[in-house]
Amino acid sequence: MTATSHPDDLQETPTRLQSLDALRGFDMVWIMGLEPVFHELAKATHWPVFEWMSTQLIHPDWNGFRFYDLIFPLFLFMAGVSTPFSVGSALQKGVSRNKLLLRVVKRGLILVLLGIIYNNDGLHLTPISELRFGSVLGRIGLAYMFAGIVYLYAAERWLIFWFWSFIIGYWLILMFGSAPGFPAGDLTMAGNFASYADRCLMPGKLYLGIHDPEGLFSTIPAISTGLLGILTGLTLKKTGLPQMKKVWRMVMVGVILIALAWIWNLVFPINKNLWTSSFVLNVGGISLLLMALFYYIIDVKGYTKWAFFFKVIGMNSILIYMIKKFIDFNFANSALFGWLHQLLGGPFNLVVAACTYLLIKWMFLYFMYQKKVFLRV
């Protein structure tokens, strides 16, 4: 496949895509501290709506899908969306593909390193056998890197080809392969081929002993999650396409992908642990619908003030993910608001404690935002 320039109608967008920052903040706020708020509300009230929401914020044991499964792939999808606005713009300004390749690879490997640091509480001397190399940031870094390489050297139509190739190829491998001693197509934790490959290939320890949800082999279909984000970014960047057509295109493709996901689920279950192909389509479709919603409200209609809370988070998403390993926000919460938690008493004091914990983290990010300090990778 030869290197091909991207279409001429892809011109640099003059302003930052505000909806992308807001959606990234919406994604991160759940693991930043909003999740415990709903868990505590469910315990305090026993209201069915809060109990249902609390359940949605717990990963299923193996097969199935809950809202919490969306947070990780949505972030990877958005990393893909931003690629045409960053790497693509540099390409149009005349920066060589080889130079951009080094930039993409460097960013991917830095995320892998940050993931190792996060998992192992720093880089203190630890035997390799005790280190966990698989990580959320590592999965994002590798999938972003390979998707970015495809983007750099492929025309837009070939991006679609590679999107389907990775998930169909992964499906065929898992359907016709298995761990030794298991029947072909076994998708249990012990018997599936992806987990077996990780046990053979990955150094250190796996998260669940025989399986790692951020393993190396299941990064293959995750590349398609990144590619779907890149294709979405290319659509959003097209100056010749009316904004509402962009919205409807995202909605239409999103609905189609979700429908295909649940059909595929009948033979290849939706499973975040294995990042199955049906999972890619399901979270990809939902990500497209959310991107369409945020883009319509913020960039098309111009309603931006309500999203400031999320924007502050989204512009420093890597920082708030990493910083809890270095700053004890629980101590700060007790020191600043312990009196309030004790004053309230009863079951709702934990709800308030969860809310003030989230508030402290947001105020920290707001301070960084005011000082224009952002952690970029």
Residue 255 has pLDDT above 80, yes or no: yes
Q: Is the pLDDT of residue 1 over 90?
A: no
User: What pLDDT does 91 receive?
Assistant: 87
Which pLDDT belongs to residue 75?
94
Using the predicted structure, report yes or no on whether residue 12 has a pLDDT greater than 50: no
pLDDT of residue 324: 80
Cα 207 to Cα 194: distance, rounded to the nearest angstrom: 14
Q: What are phi and psi of 109, to 5 degrees?
A: -70, -35
**What number is the average pLDDT over the span 243-267?**
97
For 30-96, where are the alpha helices, taking DSSP H only? 35-45, 48-56, 71-92
In sequence order, what DSSP letters do the residues of 280-330 get, joined into one string?
Answer: HHHHHHHHHHHHHHHIIIIIIS---GGGHHHHHHHTTHHHHHHHTTTS-HH
> To 5 degrees, how large is the angle CA 209–CA 210–CA 212?
80
Q: Is residue 138 part of a domain?
A: yes
374 pLDDT above the threshold of 90: no
Express each pLDDT in 67-78 by its tens digit.
999 999 999 999
- Which neighbouring-strand residues pair with 238? 10
SS3 at position 10:
strand
Residue 156 pLDDT grade (very low, low, confident, very high; cuts 50, 70, 90)? confident
In 3D space, the residue among 260, 257, 262, 245 whose CA is nearest the CA of residue 289 turns out to be 257
Q: Could you report the per-residue pLDDT of 298-330, keeping only the tens digit for each? A: 999 999 999 999 999 999 989 988 888 788 888
Of the candidates 314, 264, 261, the residue with the CA atom closest to the CA atom of residue 288: 261
Query: DSSP code of 7?
Result: P
In a domain, 10, yes or no: no
Whole-angstrom distance, CA of residue 35 vs CA of residue 58? 9
Question: In this structure, how many other beta carbons lie within 10 angstroms of the beta carbon of residue 331?
Answer: 10
Smallest CA-to-CA distance from 317 within 70, 12, 26, 56 is with: 26
Name the β-bridge partners of 10. Answer: 238
Q: Is position 314 within any domain?
A: yes
Quote the domain boundaries for residue 210.
Answer: 18-370
- pLDDT for 10 equals 33
Asked, for residue 376, whether it belongs to a domain, the answer is no
Flag whether 224 is in a domain: yes
Residue 288 in this model has a pLDDT that exceeds 60: yes
Rg (CA), the chain: 21
Q: Which residue has the higher pLDDT, 9 or 364?
A: 364
pLDDT digits (tens, 9 = 90+) for 115-137: 988 887 766 667 777 888 989 99
Query: Per the domain annotation, does 171 fall within a domain?
Result: yes
Q: Are 246 and 238 in contact (CB under 8 A)?
A: yes
pLDDT at 123: 61
Average pLDDT over residues 147-157: 93
Give the chain's domain count. Answer: 1
Q: pTM to 2 decimals? A: 0.90
Mean pLDDT of 232-239: 92
Q: Grade residue 263 by pLDDT with cuts at 50, 70 and 90.
A: very high
pLDDT at site 122:
62
Instruction: Please report whether residue 122 resides in a domain.
Output: yes
Count helices and strands (H / E) in the chain.
15, 0
Average pLDDT over residues 250-272: 97
- The answer as to whether 375 is a domain residue is no
pLDDT > 90? residue 349: no
Q: Is the pLDDT of residue 4 over 60?
A: no
Phi-psi region of 188 (alpha: psi -120 to 50; beta: other; left: phi over 0): beta
